[in-house]
């Protein structure tokens, strides 16, 4: 009577890179075009506008 499952050994002759071709991936990452740096000016303007709106609401609520 066998109480344990039989474990089959995996073959060692199957050497395939699961992520694909490593050299092609490295070439892709090294030659990827760089995106232009985005300006932070719109973020700063939106932040200042938000602060002005909040201050206006606080002043309106107090008066």
Predicted local distance difference test score (pLDDT) of residue 10 = 65
Element (H, E) at 62: helix 41-62
**pTM summary value:** 0.42
pLDDT of res. 62: 92
**Contact between residue 25 and residue 19 where contact means Cβ atoms under 8 Å apart:** yes
Specify the residue for token string 């075009």: 33
Give the chain's residues under pLDDT 70. Answer: 1-5, 10-20, 31-37
């Amino acid at each position: 009577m066998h109480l344990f499952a039989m474990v089959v050994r995996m073959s060692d002759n199957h050497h395939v890179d699961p992520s694909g071709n490593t050299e092609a991936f490295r070439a892709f990452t090294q030659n990827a075009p760089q995106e232009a740096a985005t300006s932070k000016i719109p973020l700063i303007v939106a932040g200042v506008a938000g602060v002005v709106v909040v201050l206006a609401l606080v002043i309106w609520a107090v008066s």
